[in-house]
C-alpha cells in the first residue's frame, strides 16, 4: 500500500522506483517506504542509512521540489516546528553556539579540501568565471565594489567564516577590517590567514560588537540570525554604521515567509538556521535602514554547490577513516539537496545594499 502511494507520487514527476535512468530512485531496503512517510526528514535519514540510492541525486530532488509534491503532505513534525518557531527564540546567544560545534568546527582541513583558496563557504559569482576559484574571487571583488571600499576605511564584517573576505579587502582594497565569529575553529584559522594584515578577528556574538564603522558587510551569516532577531540585527547594523554610508548583506533567502527550516537540514546540518523572506527582512529593517539595491544570484549557488560536491568527492579518500561512511552519505545528500533546491528556484540568494538614512545622490547598481 505505502509502496504504491509513493510509486504513484514519484511517477507524477517522472521519477521511477527501480527504474533505469540516472534520476530514478533505487530501493535497497523496503523499510525506506516507511521512512518516506516522515517527508524530507525521513527521505534524508533513509538515504544516510543506505536504504535507497540514486545515481543523479540532485536531478531526482530537483524534480520533486520543482513540482512541489514535497509540500502536499500533512506532517505533524512540520506543524510543531512552526509553532515552536513562533513561540521561542531559537537563535539566542547560547543556542547560536550549537551550529558552530555541529557544523563549522568539524575540521578546517576538511573544508579546505572542498573550498577555494579564500575558503569561501558561500555562493560564488559565475558571470565571467571558468571555475570555483575564479567565481569566489569574483564574488569577493563584487562585494568590495558594491561597498565602494576605499583605502583605510574601517569595515565591520559580521560573521567572517575562515577570514577570506577580510584578507581580500585588506590586501586588495587597503581596508582595516574587524571581523566577528562564534566558531573557535574558524577564528583560529582566520587569525592565521590574516596575520600581518590590518585585520582584527574577534571571537564573539555579533550582538556584542560596539563602535562605528565606515562600511558593514555580512556574507552568509544572516541565515543563522533567526526569525525573532531580524529587527535587532537591523538595529545593530544601524548602530554600527556611519551615517550616510552603506552595508551589504549577502544571504540565502526563502520565497515564503516561514519561521523554521527544512527538518533534515535543521537536525543534521545547520541547527537553528532560518533563511529570511524579503518580506521578513525588509519589514524588520524598515525603521532602521533604507534599501538601495537587491541582486539575486540564486542560479550561481547551484554551480557553486556542484563544484563543492566535485571537490568533496575527489578528496573523500583522505577523510573516509576519520568521518565514516554515514557522514559521506549525509554530506553528499546535503550538497546535492541544496543544489537541487536552488536549481528549482525554491530558494534564492540575495545581495542587498542598505544605507543609513539614504545614500546622498543615490546608489548605482553594480554587477
DSSP readout, 53-92? E-TTHHHHHHHHHHHTGGGSS--HHHHHHHHHHHHS-TT-
Which three three-digit cell numbers place residue 272? 537553528
- Read off the DSSP letter of residue 25: B
Helix (H) or strand (E) holding 203: strand 199-203
Residue with cell 540575495: 350
Average pLDDT of 90-117?
A: 81
213 - beta bridge partners? 241
HSE-CB of 330 using CA atoms within 13 angstroms = 16
> Residue 88: pLDDT above 90?
no
Q: What is the pLDDT of residues 254-263, one digit of tens each?
A: 999 988 889 9
Average pLDDT of 137-153?
A: 98
> Residue 74: pLDDT above 60?
no
Average pLDDT of 320-349?
A: 98
Q: What is the pLDDT of residues 264-305, one digit of tens each?
A: 999 999 998 999 999 999 999 999 999 999 999 999 999 999
List Cβ neighbours of 55 (8 Å cut-off, separation of 6 or more).
22, 23
* 158 confidence band (pLDDT: 50, 70, 90): very high
Q: What is the pLDDT of residues 46-57, one digit of tens each?
A: 999 999 999 999
Residue-level pLDDT at 76:
44
Residue-level pLDDT at 4:
86
98 or 49, higher pLDDT: 49
pTM of the model: 0.92
Does residue 217 sit in helix, strand or coil? Answer: strand
Does residue 155 sit in helix, strand or coil? Answer: strand
High-pLDDT (> 70) share of the chain, % = 92
- Give me the catalytic one of 160, 175, 275, 338: 338
Which three three-digit cell numbers place residue 163? 577570514
Residue-level pLDDT at 50:
98
**Domain 93-355 has what CATH class?**
alpha beta
Best CA proximity match to 41, nearest among 88, 80, 13 = 80
Which three three-digit cell numbers place residue 179? 571581523
- The mean predicted confidence, pLDDT, of the chain is 92
Cα 171 versus chain centre, distance: 26
> Residue 3: pLDDT above 90?
no
Residue-level pLDDT at 338:
98
Asked about 240 being catalytic, the answer comes back as no
Average pLDDT of 68-84?
A: 51
> Residue 24: pLDDT above 80?
yes
Average pLDDT of 208-227?
A: 95
Amino acid at each position: 500500500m505505502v509502496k504504491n502511494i509513493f510509486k504513484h507520487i514519484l511517477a507524477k514527476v517522472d521519477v521511477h522506483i527501480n527504474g533505469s535512468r540516472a534520476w530514478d530512485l533505487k530501493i535497497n531496503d523496503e523499510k525506506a517506504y516507511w521512512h518516506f512517510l516522515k517527508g524530507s526528514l525521513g527521505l534524508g535519514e533513509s538515504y544516510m542509512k543506505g536504504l535507497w540510492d540514486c545515481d543523479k541525486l540532485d536531478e531526482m530532488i530537483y524534480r520533486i521540489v520543482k513540482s512541489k509534491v514535497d509540500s502536499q503532505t500533512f506532517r505533524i513534525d512540520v506543524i510543531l516546528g512552526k509553532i515552536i518557531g513562533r513561540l521561542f527564540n531559537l537563535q539566542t546567544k547560547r543556542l547560536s553556539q550549537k551550529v558552530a560545534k555541529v557544523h563549522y568546527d568539524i575540521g578546517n582541513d576538511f573544508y579546505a579540501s572542498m573550498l577555494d583558496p579564500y575558503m569561501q563557504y558561500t555562493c560564488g559569482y559565475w558571470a565571467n568565471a571558468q571555475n570555483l576559484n575564479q567565481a569566489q574571487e569574483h564574488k569577493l571583488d563584487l562585494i568590495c565594489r558594491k561597498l565602494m571600499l576605499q583605502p583605510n576605511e574601517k569595515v565591520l564584517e559580521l560573521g567572517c567564516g575562515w577570514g577570506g573576505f577580510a584578507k581580500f579587502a585588506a590586501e586588495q582594497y587597503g581596508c582595516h577590517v574587524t571581523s566577528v565569529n562564534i566558531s573557535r575553529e574558524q577564528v583560529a584559522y582566520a587569525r592565521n590567514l590574516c596575520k600581518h594584515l590590518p585585520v582584527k578577528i574577534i571571537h564573539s556574538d555579533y550582538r556584542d560588537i560596539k563602535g562605528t564603522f565606515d562600511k558593514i558587510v555580512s556574507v552568509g551569516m544572516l541565515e543563522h540570525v533567526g526569525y525573532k532577531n531580524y529587527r535587532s540585527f537591523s538595529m545593530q547594523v544601524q548602530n554600527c554604521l556611519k551615517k550616510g554610508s552603506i552595508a551589504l548583506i549577502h544571504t540565502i533567502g526563502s520565497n515564503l515567509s516561514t519561521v523554521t527550516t527544512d527538518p533534515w537540514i535543521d537536525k543534521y546540518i545547520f541547527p537553528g538556521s532560518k533563511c529570511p523572506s524579503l518580506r521578513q527582512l525588509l519589514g524588520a529593517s524598515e525603521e532602521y535602514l533604507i534599501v538601495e539595491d537587491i541582486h539575486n544570484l540564486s542560479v550561481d549557488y547551484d554551480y557553486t554547490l556542484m563544484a563543492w560536491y566535485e571537490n568533496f568527492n575527489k578528496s573523500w579518500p583522505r577523510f573516509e577513516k576519520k568521518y565514516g561512511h554515514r557522514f559521506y552519505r549525509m554530506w553528499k545528500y546535503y550538497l546535492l539537496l541544496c543544489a537541487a533546491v536552488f536549481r528549482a528556484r525554491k530558494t534564492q540568494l540575495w545581495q542587498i545594499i542598505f544605507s543609513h538614512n539614504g545614500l546622498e545622490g543615490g546608489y548605482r547598481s553594480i554587477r
